[in-house]
A and B are shown apart, each in its own frame.
Chain A
Amino acid sequence: MKRIDCLRVIYPALEDCAVVTIMGAVAAELYSLGHRANFFYLEHAMGLASSIGLGIALSQPNRKVVVIDGDGSVLMNLGSLTTMARSRPKNLVHLIFDNETLLSVGGGAPGGYKWFTTATSTGTDLAAMAKAAGFPRAQLLRELEDFEEAALDALNGDELSCIVAKVEAEMPKSFLMDVHMLENRFEFPRALQQPAKRKKGGLT
């Protein structure tokens, strides 16, 4: 399963969400599908994307918050799984792309060669850890169809969820992101704090 294909199938569902991604491949690939002001790419501080998502989810309980994380980042802040689980905001989806390597910080190479793998490559199961931390819902998916069903179900659902997708350790086609991190930093809260968009049939 490829990360970019997973992102493609959930992309339309992210329109009204607050989306926080980690740095590197995930950010570049989400950006390549079309940047939106409600996407925040955390370009440093590995591990804290989930904490930022938790802060948003607790502060705006009526907005769906999606954290798009990676195995390397999650392993740097494992306690966050327990903090999210005990806070248990219903509007938070923790999506983890598990490529079993620290791809974007030099652990991967073209051709899928992995020279710095993470512990998920030797059996650590992040979905099981999330479940054991107290997430009401945590699933690990290996096939795109299963991922799509689980991720969309979580995005449309009403409980704290952790969706772990086993993906290939593949570099993005490009790391180009033509939005400066500070521009992104200021447009993101503006998008989150503007009044809800009016659509046909009323407020969304």
Chain B
Amino acid sequence: MPVSVANSQLVYDAMKRTGVTLVSALPETWLVHLIRMADEDPEMTLVRLAKEEEGVGVSAGAHFAGVKSAMLMQNHGLLQAVNGIVGVSLLYKIPLLMLVTDRGSFGEKDPWQTEGGKYTRPVLDALHIAHDDLTRPDEVEFKLSKAMTLAQSSLSPVALLLNRDLMWEEPQ
């Protein structure tokens, strides 16, 4: 499978260095290694969700209890979670670090991913959620660190979009 193990490890390690000890997730192809790493890490609590919106609540609960957390999901998961993001994270001013795979953008071969890809950034912008792209390995560490810092200081959701160039290695 051409999902990048090395870059998944970079993202995982950088996420962990921000202090995250609880991750809630739903899988998609690009996230398989990240979720496996969380599962295999005895220092990480992995919550396997049935639907993404639950993760917004789980992260809010973790925050109330003094624990830093993150959500791993596809961009369609973000769309699914919007009501929770508005009704919990934004309404109650709760930090939320979201790592969202950026499916449906340039290079997408799966026709069924192309529609959702058009709305990922407009939806984040409509909600005034700060977001940035993770495209190159050398920007993973500092962008994750700064994203968590902003989430905690602004008491708001922030999103990092995991790009194709970072997560996917085209077969030679």
A171 interfacial contact with B, CB 8 Å: no
23 residue pairs A–B, Cβ–Cβ below 8 Å: A40-B64, A42-B88, A44-B87, A48-B56, A48-B87, A48-B88, A49-B57, A52-B57, A52-B60, A54-B47, A55-B62, A55-B65, A57-B61, A59-B66, A79-B51, A79-B54, A82-B50, A86-B48, A87-B47, A181-B91, A185-B92, A189-B63, A189-B64
Given contacts A42-B88, A45-B83, A79-B50, contact A55 B59 (CB under 8 A): yes
Given contacts A83-B50, A86-B48, contact A181 B92 (CB under 8 A): yes
Chain A residues 54 to 82 lying within 8 A of chain B, measured CB to CB, are 54-60, 63, 77, 79-80, 82
B84 interfacial contact with A, CB 8 Å: yes
Chain B residues 27 to 44 lying within 8 A of chain A, measured CB to CB, are none
Q: How far is it, in angstroms, between the C-alpha of A173 and the C-alpha of B69 when the chains are bound?
A: 39
Chain B residues 59 to 97 lying within 8 A of chain A, measured CB to CB, are 59-67, 69, 83-84, 86-88, 91-94
Contact of A182 among B50, B66, B92 (CB under 8 A): B92
Q: Which residues of A contact B86 (CB under 8 A)?
A: 45
Q: How far is it, in angstroms, between the C-alpha of A87 and the C-alpha of B51 when the chains are bound?
A: 15
Q: Interface residue count for A (Cβ, 8 Å)? A: 36
Closest chain-B Cβ to A125's Cβ sits at a distance in Å of 19
Q: Which residues of A contact B10 (CB under 8 A)?
A: none
Closest chain-B Cβ to A12's Cβ sits at a distance in Å of 23
Closest chain-A Cβ to B4's Cβ sits at a distance in Å of 29
CB contacts between A and B, total, < 8 Å:
117
CB pair B64–A58 under 8 Å, yes or no, is no
Give the interface SS of chain A, mostly helix, strand, loop or mixed: helix
CB pair A51–B54 under 8 Å, yes or no, is yes
Closest chain-A Cβ to B166's Cβ sits at a distance in Å of 28
Q: How far is it, in angstroms, between the C-alpha of A189 and the C-alpha of B49 when the chains are bound?
A: 24
B148 interfacial contact with A, CB 8 Å: no
Q: Which residues of B contact A44 (CB under 8 A)?
A: 87-88, 91
